[in-house]
Amino acid sequence: MRFFELETLGNLNDSELGLTDGPPEGMELRSYCMAFGDSTRRFYPKEAKVSLREDHPGIKLSSLVGNTNSYLIVHSEMKEVIATHCQGIEVEYLPFDLYDHRKRLYSRDYFFINPIGTHDCLDPVASGVKIGPEGGVIHVARYMLDPKKSANLPALFRPKEEPSVYIVSEPLAQALKEKGFTNVHLKPLEFSTSA
């Protein structure tokens, strides 16, 4: 089975697409949770609000809302497709109210998708993983999957070495393509050939 990186920036060349660059109001100190796969259940605001940037005010809304925080932000229709493929996987689906750049309510149909935890799936050598002096990962040059680690990977997950990255299985990627969701960019990943 093939896998794809689901990019969260969206199309930055289309200024008509909405773009956010911050967490929901009230989540500032815990904003890293949604970018790195930690649970937000205890911290997520009851009435979460997110605003679009002035330079990307969202004249047209898209299925995936691009952002600069490594959040997976999708429309409710795309969320339903993801949820169908992610049954039995620990994933948080976090609703919020989307406001335009002038702080007017724009939509109540969007969710943060937060797959909890990470998976050991990369070939560290082929991926060019650099480890810092304290033992933590400081850089991943490319995402090369280890074929020996790929047998039981879920439909949506984060790699252990780079939790802010989202990887989807081929069946989920195909379902997203078939639905024609907008602003969705899927980058095919390769498997390493090292023994």
Q: If DSSP codes are grouped into helix, strand and coil, which group holds residue 99?
A: strand
Lookup result for tokens 């907008």? 182
pTM above the 0.85 mark? yes
Distance CA 91, CA 88 (A): 9
Q: If DSSP codes are grouped into helix, strand and coil, which group holds residue 13?
A: coil
Q: What is the mean pLDDT of residues 170-195?
A: 94
Number of domains in the chain: 1
Answer for the pair 120, 158: CB distance below 8 angstroms, yes or no.
no
Q: What's the pLDDT at 18?
A: 86
Q: What's the pLDDT at 132?
A: 86
| Per-residue model confidence as pLDDT tens digits over 76-102 | 999 999 999 999 999 999 999 999 888
Tabulate helix, strand, coil % of the chain (nearest 5): 15, 30, 55
**Closest by Cα among 48, 141, 137, 146 to 95:** 48
In which domain, by residue range, is 62 found?
3-191
Q: What's the pLDDT at 119?
A: 97
